[in-house]
Chain A
Amino acid sequence: MPRSDTLQGAMTRWVRHGGAGKLLFTAPLLIVFGLFAWWPILRSLVLSFQRTNLVADPAWVGLRNFSRVLADPLLVTAAWNTAWFTLLALVIGFPVPVLLAVFVGELRRTRTIASVLVYIPIIIPPVVAVLLWKQLYDPSEHGLLNTVAGWAGLGPFPWLQGAETAMPSIVVQATWAGFGTTTIIYVAALMSVPPELYEAAELDGAGVLRRVWHITLPQLRSVILLMLILQVIGTFQVFTEPYVMTGGGPDNSTITLLMLIFKYAFVVGDFGKATALSLMLAVFLTALSAVYLRATRGWKRS
Chain B
Amino acid sequence: MTIHVGNMPTKDNPDNLALFNKQVAAFQKLHPNVTVVGEETKFDPQTFAALVAGGSMPTTMQVPYTNIQQLALNGQVRDITDLVKGDVMLSKLNPAVAKQTQNAEGRTFGVVSAAYTMAFIYNRALYKKAGLDPDAPPKTWDEVRENAKAISRASDAAGFMIATTTNSGGWILTTMAYANGSTIQKREGDTVKATIDAGGVKDALTFLHDVRWTDQAAGKNFLMSQDDMRNAIAAGRIGQTVLGADLYRDLVGNRDMPGADLGIAPLPQSAAGIGTLGGGDIAVASPKASAGEAAAAMEWVKFRYLGRFLDKQAAVEWAETSKAGGLPVGAPEVPLFSPEIYDRYLSWVSGYVNVDRANYKAYFASLGTLPILGEPPVAAQETYALLDAVTQQVLTKQDADIPAALTQLQTDAQALIDATQ
Q: Chain A residues in contact with chain B, CB under 8 A? A: 53-56, 68, 71, 73, 138-140, 156, 158, 160-163, 246-252, 262-263, 265-269, 271
Contacts and interface: CB of A to CB of B under 8 A. Distances in A.
B74 A251 contact: no
Interface string B151-176: 00000100000001111000000000
Contacts of B166: 247
Size category of the binding interface on chain B? 35 or more
25 contacts: A53-B49, A53-B75, A54-B53, A55-B52, A68-B419, A73-B412, A73-B415, A138-B220, A139-B221, A156-B220, A161-B221, A247-B223, A247-B388, A249-B389, A250-B392, A252-B389, A265-B49, A266-B46, A266-B49, A267-B46, A267-B381, A267-B385, A269-B70, A269-B74, A269-B76
A249 B385 contact: no
A251 B390 contact: yes
A48 to B, nearest CB: 16
Contact of A162 (B287, B390, B396, B412): B396
A160 B221 CA distance: 9
Contacts of B419: 68
Contact of A139 (B167, B220, B382, B390): B220
A5 to B, nearest CB: 51
B339 interface: no
A266 B385 CA distance: 13
B393 interface: yes
A158 B396 contact: yes
B303 interface: no
Interface string B40-51: 000001111110
Interface of B: 45-50, 52-54, 70, 74-76, 156, 164-167, 219-223, 225, 287, 381-382, 385, 388-390, 392-393, 395-397, 412, 415, 419
A279 to B, nearest CB: 19
Given A249-B388, A251-B390, A263-B385, A161 B222 contact: yes
Contacts of B75: 53, 55-56
Contacts of A71: 415
A163 B47 contact: no
B221 A249 contact: no
A247 B53 contact: no
Given A161-B223, A249-B164, A55 B396 contact: no
Nearest to B408: A73
A104 B390 CA distance: 47
Interface centre among B76, B167, B222, by most chain A C-beta atoms within 10 angstroms, is B222
B48 A269 contact: yes
Give the 4 A-B residue pairs with the shortest CB-CB distance, closest first: A54-B53, A247-B165, A251-B393, A250-B392
Which among A55, A138, A263 has the greatest number of chain B C-beta atoms within 10 A? A55
Contacts of B54: 54
Contact of B45 (A55, A160, A267): A267
B204 to A, nearest CB: 16
Nearest to A251: B393
Given A73-B412, A267-B46, A249 B165 contact: yes
A55 B284 CA distance: 15
A286 B392 CA distance: 35
A84 to B, nearest CB: 17
Contacts of B415: 71, 73
B400 to A, nearest CB: 8
B77 to A, nearest CB: 9
A56 B49 CA distance: 11
B221 A251 contact: no
A156 to B, nearest CB: 8
Given A55-B287, A163-B393, A266-B46, 9 more contacts: A53-B53, A55-B53, A249-B164, A249-B392, A250-B392, A250-B393, A262-B46, A267-B167, A267-B381
B236 to A, nearest CB: 15
A269 B49 contact: yes
A266 B45 contact: yes
A163 B223 CA distance: 11
A156 B393 CA distance: 20
Contacts of B220: 138-140, 156, 158, 161
A159 to B, nearest CB: 10
A88 B92 CA distance: 61
Nearest to B225: A247
A113 B52 CA distance: 50
A268 to B, nearest CB: 6
A56 B389 contact: no
A250 B74 contact: no
Given A55-B76, A269-B74, A250 B395 contact: yes
B294 to A, nearest CB: 15
B76 to A, nearest CB: 5
Contacts of A251: 389-390, 392-393, 396-397
Nearest to B221: A139
Nearest to A160: B223
B223 A54 contact: no
A247 B219 CA distance: 19
A271 B49 contact: yes
Contacts of A161: 220-223, 396
Nearest to B46: A266
B259 to A, nearest CB: 28
A248 to B, nearest CB: 8
Contacts of B52: 53-55
Contacts of A271: 49
Contacts of A160: 223
B397 A163 contact: yes
A215 B53 CA distance: 57
Nearest to B167: A267
Nearest to A162: B396
Contacts of A262: 46
Nearest to A142: B156
